[in-house]
Structure 1
Amino acid sequence: MRSVPATAAGEGGSFPVAAGVLLGLGLGGFFDGIVLHQVLQWHHMLSSWYPIDSIENLQRNTLWDGVFHSAAYVFVVLGLFVMWRRAHRQHRRWSYRVLVGSLLIGWGLFNLIEGSIDHHWLGVHHVNERVDRVQWLYWDLGFLGWGLAMLLGGLWLVRRGRGL
């Protein structure tokens, strides 16, 4: 086994949080797209702007759902690349808490960013468009609350995993 300078060992020994955050962003996107868009069919990417009331609107939404999934895929690939680069350099014992925590940070950030921009700022869709319109805000706020809970839980786990 090759020796590693103390500074390099200290800097490179822990799980790469950036990789976990990128993976969490991608997993959050896949969960949203697969579960909420496809399985439950609560909304599609542009379903508030283009309701699914015609073949043309369904095609438009399906296209943008695919673009959305492509972005989630890119986050996962980037996360795997960052993790591989760190793991490939030298085998390290990584903390499960830091792994799970960083995934939760990424997923929570996904919910907070996507929920704020798409649900509130742009209004391109809402979490559950199958309920009465007056209830949409509650589902959107719940999505943000779920994201905040994941973010805070993830930060707590990363701190615990690093012994801070």
Structure 2
Amino acid sequence: MAIENGNQDNPNNKNRYAYSGRNSWSGALFGIGLAAFIDETIFHQLLRWHHFYDKSTTDIGLISDGLFHAFSWFATIAALFMFADLRRRNALWSTRWVGGMLLGAGGFQLYDGIIQHKLMQIHQIRYVENIFIYDLIWNALAILMITAGILAVRTQNRKQSGKTASHEHS
């Protein structure tokens, strides 16, 4: 993996700065794919708490799960192609990539918890009397991932701007 320190004028670091956005997008896509994969595997298949689309028959629910599973793998594979390209270009910025991954996973989970569960009501986390605790934990974990992702990216941005400023004054 690329070295996390050094200034922007270092030839080994120029690609990382030029491709910083791609690092974030690759991480975000991977996070979306990973969160969707975990949701599908644990909550849809192993625990059988719900399907992606629960407003129809079980067969339709299973088909929707298959399409959802395919989406998660497309996102993951696209992210890994971008990741490999970043490594090939010596442009992988692991802190920014992990920050993007946390933002993608948390963003996906918060979207799922608010839009799909509550607004669209296409499924719930679990069909029980008191769903509040499930919603609270689901959305709190999403907010924690988003916060951790923001902190990772902001910390890296501060390191980057600090090195650039100190380099200009030296």
TM above 0.5, yes or no, is: yes
Partner of 1:91: 90
Q: Please state how far the C-alpha of 1:23 moved relative to its aligned partner.
A: 0.1
Q: Please state how far the C-alpha of 1:155 moved relative to its aligned partner.
A: 1.1
Q: Please state how far the C-alpha of 1:124 moved relative to its aligned partner.
A: 1.0
Distance of aligned partners of 1:104 and 1:5 in 2 relative to their CA distance in 1, 3 Å threshold: closer
Partner of 1:62: 62
Partner of 1:12: 19
What does residue range 34-53 of structure 1 map to in structure 2 within 5 Å?
34-47=41-54, 49-50=55-56
Match 2:32 to one of 25, 50, 53: 25
Distance 1:14 1:110 in 2: 19
**What amino acid does structure 2 have at the position aligned with 1:28?**
A
Partner of 1:75: 75
Q: CA RMSD in A?
A: 2.6
**What amino acid does structure 2 have at the position aligned with 1:75?**
A
Structure 2, unpaired ranges of 5+: 1-9, 161-170
State whether residues 14 and 94 of structure 1, in contact with CA within 8 Å, keep that contact through their aligned partners in structure 2: no
Aligned residues: percent identity?
A: 26
Q: Please state how far the C-alpha of 1:115 moved relative to its aligned partner.
A: 1.8
Distance 1:9 1:94 in 2: 6
Distance of aligned partners of 1:114 and 1:94 in 2 relative to their CA distance in 1, 3 Å threshold: same
Partner of 2:135: 140
**What amino acid does structure 2 have at the position aligned with 1:112?**
L
**What amino acid does structure 2 have at the position aligned with 1:83?**
F
State whether residues 15 and 90 of structure 2, in contact with CA within 8 Å, keep that contact through their aligned partners in structure 1: no
Q: Please state how far the C-alpha of 1:81 moved relative to its aligned partner.
A: 2.1
Q: Please state how far the C-alpha of 1:13 moved relative to its aligned partner.
A: 6.7
Residue by residue, what CA displacement relative to the aligned partner does 1:116-150 show, whole Å, maximum 9, x if unpaired? Answer: 22101110111112x22xx1243223312211111
Structure 1, unpaired ranges of 5+: 51-56
Q: Tell me the number of residue pairs that the alignment of Structure 1 and Structure 2 aligns.
A: 150
Residue by residue, what CA displacement relative to the aligned partner does 1:9-46 show, whole Å, maximum 9, x if unpaired? Answer: 63237871110000000000001100011111111112
Distance of aligned partners of 1:78 and 1:141 in 2 relative to their CA distance in 1, 3 Å threshold: same
Distance of aligned partners of 1:44 and 1:91 in 2 relative to their CA distance in 1, 3 Å threshold: same
